[in-house]
Structure 1
Amino acid sequence: MKVLLFSEGKNLFKKSGVGKALEHQMKALELAGVEYTLDPNDKYDIVHINTIGLLSEKVLDKAKKNGKKVIVHTHTTYEDFKNSFIFSNYFAPIIKKRLIRMYSKADMLISPSLYTKKLILSYGIKNKIEVVSNGVDTNKFNCQKKSKKIFKKYFNIEKPLVLSVGLPFERKGIIDFYKLAEKLPFYDFVWLGAKLNVIPKKIKKLLNNKLPNLKFPGFVSEDLLLAAFCESDVFLFPSYEENEGIVVLEALSSKTPLILRDIPVYDNWLSHGEHCLKSRNLDDFMKNIKLVINNEIDIKKMVDNGRRIAEERDLKKIGVMLKYIYGEIYERKG
């Protein structure tokens, strides 16, 4: 059994969650001993598609015509497309129609969370949906293996550090991140994530900020990213809409104290005070940041619990789940 892992626009998406998800699928399949290819011209038995563009649909249609089984990963939803790129809100209804058509053609869908599965079902899609986390490399995101303090030194950071990682979208909460840096000048705030030309002017203006305690370095090397998780006092994720949030898993794996927005995607697997601190508004975020930095809660208990959540989603386990799903669909008749 050989699987085609397909994502179009690799150069565009390689610094995004979809690009990271593809990397994780590759690593997971290697760990599970599943043969795969990235080339649609290779021979394969099953295609696992991660994007919803025209080329993705062409690959899907060709596979179906040739009697191959097709799995589509529901990384894209109407809800998380909004408030991202320029004109994203205008195109969101069109994207919704497109993803419904794409997802409805698949033999099976994979959603990264139960929340996303519920969203897809709410569109009226009837296909079978399996829930499989995007996963995390808990061996890589393990701060016990990191001894050198390179991130704070590289960026000349001396105050307590509040970190966030992601594309600089309004949906990701970058405006709130800026406001928090304004209100908490005695902490340093750093947002890591590629600066794209397709973001709105108001976000570009924000990225050129003059706040002395706020930095937007853009995309950084893997070594600096790992160091950032390990050296941060807080990982702050103020996103308004997620299908899972790979960086959340990376923070949990790194045992970085996690503060995130209280949104539905985290309802059934992350608990306030047990794995993270959840916030509904700026006042909540400020209160929770201070609780962590001033050690006013049992941080060790919280991050230890969080690490166990990450270990449940380790790429080794994700590989086993994918292998089982592939086997199931490969044996299915018709």
Structure 2
Amino acid sequence: MRVLDYLELEDRIRGGIVTATRQQRKALERADVDVIESPWVGDGPVDAAKSRLTGGRAFREYDVAHCNVVGPGSVAVARHAKRNDIPLVLHAHVTAEDFGESFRFTDRLAPALRPYLRWFYSQADLVLCPSEYTKGVLREYPVTTPIEPVTNGVDVDSLEGFEDLREETRERFDLEGMVVFCVGEVFERKGLTTFCEVAKETEYDFAWFGHYEEGAAAGEATRYWTNNPPENVTFTGWMDDKRAAFGAGDVYLFPTKDENQGIAALEAMACGKAVVLRDIPVFEEFFTDGEDCLKCETREEFVDALRRLEENPDLRERLGENAQETAAEHSLDRVGERLIEQYERLLEESHSGTP
């Protein structure tokens, strides 16, 4: 089986979609699936178009097409797949709900995105998404195509050696004591304002490891907090090695307002960190308050949770140990098994003529 696992504009985007796609590829390759990353003949769409104009092919050959974003290149792949009876899988990493409060103007664009996503995802033979929560969101659009939740997973191997980077990273960013941290793109939907307001009410060092926009694309909250951080908050900017973040931090604080799953939270759990989350619906599927995390709703609850963890190292250790067990349930082996199961079913239906 040869699978196209396509991430349009892969070299220009950051964040969870990139991580999720690369984890899919790694999971499939470990299961001996032949994976190609580009649909195009040549080096891209321009070469593909030239090939087509001279009587050649525009698209490479593959048995299943799996696209991870919603741009024009993915639309072209979808149309090609439908014309040639190639099973088409569209991965719903993007919803209108998690698009809002990200960058400048995304709040205004989010409502207009919903009908486009309904149209785009409805072309698929199968839509994959990271959670039952996301499946419910898509059904409300409504997307009527079959939808299957498949965890994004966590690449434990990519985190190996994080402990060795602890002292170096803490010294680099002047971090001491119980360090409260977050990892990933810095914007308001991820709970930026709550993160900073909680920091202002505590004495701990806070660090947000991740890229933030500084130009015209930056959201209002991002511009404000990165230019006026509380004294105990450090915004590190882009980290070349994510292991440094997980090595330096002690308590992972993730007051996000909306997620389809939350890969970085799983990575923190895989590192045995105590995790404090906002109590939102998607986390009900994966995490249990008081067992592998603490869940909070208000700023006061977040502050109280951090104080509890500082005062009770045994609680911090127990949550971290249980979190590692939770993360193990999202191994790449399981991701690969689920993906292959769905691909094989689609191929069987395609060959049998089943709609």
Q: Report the AA paired with residue 269 of structure 2.
A: L
Give the secondary-structure state (helix, strand or coil) at the position aligned to 1:150.
Answer: helix
Q: 1:60 aligns with which of 74, 78, 97?
A: 78
Match of 2:262 in 1: 245
Are the aligned partners of 1:161 and 1:234 in contact in 2 as well (CA < 8 Å)? yes
Shift of 1:142: 5.0
Q: How far apart are the structure 1 equivalents of 2:71 and 2:165?
A: 43
Quick check: which has more Rg, 1 or 2? 2
Q: 2:97 aligns with which of 55, 76, 79?
A: 79
Shift of 1:287: 0.3
Give the secondary-structure state (helix, strand or coil) at the position aligned to 2:328.
Answer: helix
Aligned residues: 330
Q: 1:219 aligns with which of 225, 238, 248?
A: 238
Q: Which structure carries more relative contact order (alpha carbon 8 Å, separation 6+)? A: 1
Give the secondary-structure state (helix, strand or coil) at the position aligned to 1:235.
Answer: strand
Match of 2:253 in 1: 236
Matches within 5 A, 1:111-150: 111-142=129-160, 146=164, 149-150=167-168
Q: 2:206 aligns with which of 189, 211, 217?
A: 189
Q: 1:43 aligns with which of 56, 61, 78?
A: 61
Q: Report the AA paired with residue 246 of structure 2.
A: F
Q: Report the AA paired with residue 6 of structure 2.
A: F
**1:265 partnered with 2:252:** no
Question: Scaled by the length of structure 2, what TM-score is found?
Answer: 0.89
Alignment CA distance shift 1:38-1:163 (3 Å): same
Are the aligned partners of 1:142 and 1:253 in contact in 2 as well (CA < 8 Å)? no
Unaligned runs of 5+ in 1: none
Matches within 5 A, 1:155-194: 155-184=173-202, 186-194=203-211
**1:2 partnered with 2:2:** yes
Alignment CA distance shift 1:199-1:76 (3 Å): same
Q: How far apart are the structure 2 equivalents of 1:55 and 1:85?
A: 22
Are the aligned partners of 1:162 and 1:189 in contact in 2 as well (CA < 8 Å)? yes
Are the aligned partners of 2:181 and 2:253 in contact in 1 as well (CA < 8 Å)? yes
Are the aligned partners of 2:101 and 2:219 in contact in 1 as well (CA < 8 Å)? no
Are the aligned partners of 2:254 and 2:276 in contact in 1 as well (CA < 8 Å)? yes
Q: 1:151 aligns with which of 165, 169, 189?
A: 169
Q: How far apart are the structure 2 equivalents of 1:193 and 1:281?
A: 24
Moved over 4 A (4+): 142-145
Shift of 1:147: 7.1
Alignment CA distance shift 1:204-1:78 (3 Å): same
Question: Scaled by the length of structure 1, what TM-score is found?
Answer: 0.94
Q: How far apart are the structure 1 equivalents of 2:127 and 2:235?
A: 36
Q: 2:339 aligns with which of 311, 322, 333?
A: 322
Q: How far apart are the structure 2 equivalents of 1:202 and 1:83?
A: 9
CA root-mean-square deviation: 1.7
User: After superposition, what is the alpha-carbon deviation per residue over 1:139-184, rounded to whole angstroms, capped at 9, x for unaligned?
Assistant: 3335686476322122121232110112111111101111112111
Shift of 1:205: 2.5
Are the aligned partners of 1:5 and 1:38 in contact in 2 as well (CA < 8 Å)? yes
Alignment CA distance shift 1:176-1:301 (3 Å): same
